[in-house]
Amino acid sequence: GAGVSQSPSNKVTEKGKDVELRCDPISGHTALYWYRQSLGQGLEFLIYFQGNSAPDKSGLPSDRFSAERTGGSVSTLTIQRTQQEDSAVYLCASSSNSGGSTDTQYFGPGTRLTVL
């Protein structure tokens, strides 16, 4: 079946602009995660959604970052007033119904964000 998909694959923006990144998880997966991968910081957790529960936002680096998940499926990560340090690859992952800690997280191909 289809894996996790993300769009766009690449995004170049100017400093100060807002960007939206989209993630389509694997059908039926109720857990969804956002991470980012950058040269300086490695792979970092950003936010986690599980079903209808309140999201775990503990990894968001600033209040410029927000995410929502509509209808328990598609998620959008929004970065407002982008800064050059936001340049990174943003990865989305989803896991099965239980969302347990041992569940395999399946990753999308990522969105490469470049802030000029």
Partner 1 sequence: GNSVTQMEGPVTLSEEAFLTINCTYTATGYPSLFWYVQYPGEGLQLLLKATKADDKGSNKGFEATYRKETTSFHLEKGSVQVSDSAVYFCALTEGDMGRRALTFGSGTRLQVQP
Binding site for partner 1 (CB under 8 A): 31, 33, 35, 42-45, 48, 50, 56, 58-59, 91, 93, 99-102, 104-110
**Closer of 72 and 109 to partner 1 (Cβ):** 109
Distance CA 22, CA 98 (A): 23
**Closer of 17 and 57 to partner 1 (Cβ):** 57
Look at phi and psi of residue 89 and say left if phi exceeds 0, alpha if psi is from -120 to 50, else beta. Answer: beta
Q: Work out how close the CB of 1 gets to partner 1 at its nearest, in angstroms, rounded to a whole number.
A: 15
Q: Work out how close the CB of 74 gets to partner 1 at its nearest, in angstroms, rounded to a whole number.
A: 18
**Closer of 44 and 74 to partner 1 (Cβ):** 44
Q: Work out how close the CB of 95 gets to partner 1 at its nearest, in angstroms, rounded to a whole number.
A: 8
**Closer of 46 and 115 to partner 1 (Cβ):** 46
Distance CA 65, CA 63 (A): 5
Q: Work out how close the CB of 70 gets to partner 1 at its nearest, in angstroms, rounded to a whole number.
A: 21
Distance CA 10, CA 69 (A): 21
Residues 6+ apart with CB under 8 A from 32: 23, 25, 48, 49, 69, 75, 92, 93, 94
